[in-house]
């Protein structure tokens, strides 16, 4: 078993949704380019997991693999598993896979404008699966859809039902997309950067809505984001991704108070805070690593203020530094904390 697995007991206990050692590569001119390099995380019922990382770290791609909407080719799933209630989804034939979509795992897309079909009315779009999958009558589906629209706090749902996506504001569109993903009451909802395209005030509303919906239904929520602020307010646990791997994971309090990976620490420093004197925001220097460049060491070492000789020699694996708090860094957690404190 790959050492990147955060939990040795993963094989015995069953999680609601578990991604294990997932590997995806793209066919390149000079051989396959690895994009996901052994991603592992899980989410349980009633729990919110935040997946954090910058663009290109593989957050969204993991979601696409789970939903089975990754274009293969050019991508290729070269290893690992996705288990939903103990069933491996990657091995399922397409019809069985389709059954899981929407009912087992639902997904909210990042850009609500492009996620809604521009030429179809919003209401029927939300309720489409109620008819095709649950076999409800037109009227039943309509009533249930209006109910769903109310549930995601869309005002005047009856009128809104007949409108087209371009009549909706950004926030309303995202609510409509959420209602669409919730239509079949999925066990797990994956929200892929659901607030990125929205105003700050609307962002907060959408996050609160997701949190409320999750508490009402007890579903598992996977929140993909690069916004640490969002994580702090609604997540239970966090998985930080870098260069196609989870580099740190744990409960949100631990991650915030005692980040055990220099990358997490850098992300935290880059968050603007009201309780600190305004000044220049800390920025993480350098660029994310170029994919496909075969390297043996830690992919973060080029941007890491603490990089040592060992970081160049081999890539660190996830280790449990404290109860339930895992980090992939050669330096011991306390060393990191001390040095980082000294730095800031």
Among 10, 90, 92, 184, binds another protein (CB under 8 A): 184
Residue 222 CB, shortest distance to another protein, in Å, is 13
- Is 144 a binding residue for another protein by CB under 8 A? The answer is no
User: C-alpha distances in angstroms, 91 versus 17, 24, 69?
Assistant: 15, 15, 14
Residue 95 CB, shortest distance to another protein, in Å, is 9
Paired with 18 in beta bridges are: 42, 83
- Is 133 a binding residue for another protein by CB under 8 A? The answer is yes
Total residues binding another protein (CB under 8 A): 33
Residue 104 CB, shortest distance to another protein, in Å, is 9
- Nearer residue to another protein within complex by CB, 217 or 295: 217
Show the site string, 49-88: x = touches another protein by CB under 8 A, - = not. ------------------xxx-x-----------------
Residue 337 CB, shortest distance to another protein, in Å, is 41
Determine the Cα angle at 54 with ends 330 and 33, to 5°: 75
- Is 129 a binding residue for another protein by CB under 8 A? The answer is yes
From 6-14, 177-185, 196-204, 264-272, give the range in contact with another protein by CB under 8 A. 177-185
State the DSSP string of 224-259.
EES-HHHHHHH-SEEEEEETTEEEEEEEHHHHHHS-
Which SS3 state, helix, strand or coil, does residue 274 take? coil
- Nearer residue to another protein within complex by CB, 4 or 107: 107
Determine the Cα angle at 261 with ends 277 and 251, to 5°: 85
From 13-21, 93-101, 308-316, 324-332, give the range in contact with another protein by CB under 8 A. 93-101
Please give the Cα distance from 132 to 113 (Å, whole number): 24
Which SS3 state, helix, strand or coil, does residue 203 take? helix
Among 39, 75, 89, 180, binds another protein (CB under 8 A): 180
Among 26, 164, 256, 302, binds another protein (CB under 8 A): 164
Q: Is the dihedral of CA 15, 21, 27, 29 positive or negative?
A: positive
290: which residues sit within 8 A by CB, 6+ positions away? none
Among 50, 152, 177, 255, binds another protein (CB under 8 A): 177
* Extended strands (E) in 63-208: 75-84, 87-88, 105-108, 188-192
Residue 191 CB, shortest distance to another protein, in Å, is 12
From 37-45, 51-59, 98-106, 245-253, give the range in contact with another protein by CB under 8 A. 98-106
- Is 98 a binding residue for another protein by CB under 8 A? The answer is yes
- Nearer residue to another protein within complex by CB, 119 or 342: 119
- Nearer residue to another protein within complex by CB, 52 or 63: 63
From 54-62, 124-132, 208-216, 281-289, give the range in contact with another protein by CB under 8 A. 124-132
Q: Are 15 and 42 in contact (CB under 8 A)?
A: yes
Among 128, 143, 269, 320, binds another protein (CB under 8 A): 128
Tokens linked to 57? 């770290």
């076999």: which residue's tokens? 135
- Is 116 a binding residue for another protein by CB under 8 A? The answer is yes
Task: Enter the DSSP assignment of 101.
Answer: B
How many helical (H) and strand (E) elements, i.e. helices and strands, does the chain have? Answer: 13, 12
Residue 166 CB, shortest distance to another protein, in Å, is 5
262-269 vs 333-343: helix axis angle to the nearest 10?
A: 30
Please give the Cα distance from 260 to 144 (Å, whole number): 46
**Which chain residues interact with another protein by CB under 8 A?**
67-69, 71, 94, 98-103, 106-107, 109, 111, 114-120, 128-129, 132-133, 164, 166, 177, 180-181, 183-184
């Amino acid at each position: 078993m790959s050492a990147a697995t955060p939990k040795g007991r993963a094989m015995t206990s069953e999680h609601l949704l578990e991604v294990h050692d997932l590997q995806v590569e793209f066919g390149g001119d000079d051989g396959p380019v690895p994009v996901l390099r052994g991603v592992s995380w899980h989410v349980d019922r009633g729990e919110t997991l935040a997946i954090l990382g910058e663009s290109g770290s593989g957050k969204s791609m993991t979601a696409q693999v789970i939903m089975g909407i990754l274009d293969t080719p050019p991508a290729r799933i070269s290893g690992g598993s996705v288990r939903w209630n103990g069933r491996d989804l990657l091995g399922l034939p397409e019809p069985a896979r389709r059954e899981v979509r929407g009912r087992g795992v639902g997904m909210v897309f990042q850009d609500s404008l492009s996620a809604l079909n521009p030429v179809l009315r919003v209401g029927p779009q939300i309720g489409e699966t109620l008819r095709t999958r649950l076999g409800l009558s037109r009227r039943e589906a309509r009533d249930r859809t209006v109910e769903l629209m109310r549930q995601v706090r869309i005002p005047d749902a009856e009128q809104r039902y007949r409108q087209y996506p371009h009549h909706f504001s950004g926030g309303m569109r995202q609510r409509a997309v959420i209602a669409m993903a919730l239509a079949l009451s999925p066990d797990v909802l994956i929200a892929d950067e659901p607030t990125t395209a929205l105003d700050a005030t609307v962002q907060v509303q959408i996050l609160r809505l997701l949190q409320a919906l999750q508490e009402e239904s007890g579903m598992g929520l996977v929140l993909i984001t690069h916004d640490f602020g969002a994580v702090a307010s609604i997540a239970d646990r966090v998985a930080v991704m870098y260069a196609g791997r989870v580099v740190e994971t744990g409960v949100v309090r631990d991650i915030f108070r005692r980040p055990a990976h220099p990358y997490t620490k850098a992300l935290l420093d880059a968050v603007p805070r009201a309780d600190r004197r305004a000044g220049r925001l800390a920025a993480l220097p350098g660029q994310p690593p170029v994919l496909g460049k075969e390297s043996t060491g830690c992919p973060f070492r080029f941007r890491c203020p603490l990089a040592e000789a060992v970081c160049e020699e081999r890539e660190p694996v996830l280790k449990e530094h404290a109860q339930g708090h895992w980090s992939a860094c050669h330096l011991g957690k306390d060393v990191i904390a001390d040095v980082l404190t000294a730095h800031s």
